[in-house]
Amino acid sequence: MGWTFKLHAAVAGVLSVSMLTVAMVTALPGMTAVPGAHALALVGIACLFPLFLAGQVRLVRARATKATTWLALLCLPAAVRAALVVLVGGGFALSFLSIAWSANLQDPEIRDGRYYAFDTHRGVRETVEVSRSQYEGALTADAVVMLATPAVFLAVAAGAVLVAGELRRSPVAVGGGAPRRPGGGYVQA
């Protein structure tokens, strides 16, 4: 696997880990949004699209199919596979738990010293006045979702790049059947 694949996966993985760590700290009881969480969310979202798109392009260029993708994933070290599963699973769990904890309140705001949030629980969806604790809970839930959701996609991007790198490195090992050149390397089909 080339160094560009490793660098691409490392950038996506580090962003995913940092965003999930800040999301977990934010989700702790009694915590509000960690200082700098919104800036990290903006950086993560800004990096998400190019990293994810480049990962998908690398998979297409490696001519990945369902079967070869699965075999290449199995060729990755167990620790790497476990880390990807933890990142994706942890991101999903944090997102769903924070949505459940938010008590169906979204978009918290302060107007004229009062706390308001959009209530999706009642039959009529409207902006209602809420207590300070409900406001802080909705604010925390929004911050967690804004961090955890892009972190999942960044972890998927890291996995896609590693799979593409494995496919490009050793197509014979994953059933590609490409013959070896006499001087080394593989003949592109």
Mean pLDDT of the chain: 82
Kindly report whether the global pTM for this prediction surpasses the value 0.75: yes
The half-sphere exposure of 68 on its side-chain side, counting CA atoms within 13 A, is 23
How far apart are alpha carbons 136 and 160 in whole angstroms? 37
pLDDT tens-digit series, residues 99-156 = 777 667 777 888 888 888 888 876 767 888 888 878 878 888 888 888 899 999 999 9
Structure tokens at 44: 């993560």
* Cα-Cα-Cα-Cα dihedral sign, residues 6, 10, 11, 12: positive
Q: Confidence band (pLDDT; 50, 70, 90) for 87?
A: very high
Tokens found for residue 35: 């200082």
Domain ranges across the chain: 3-169
Q: What pLDDT does 83 receive?
A: 94
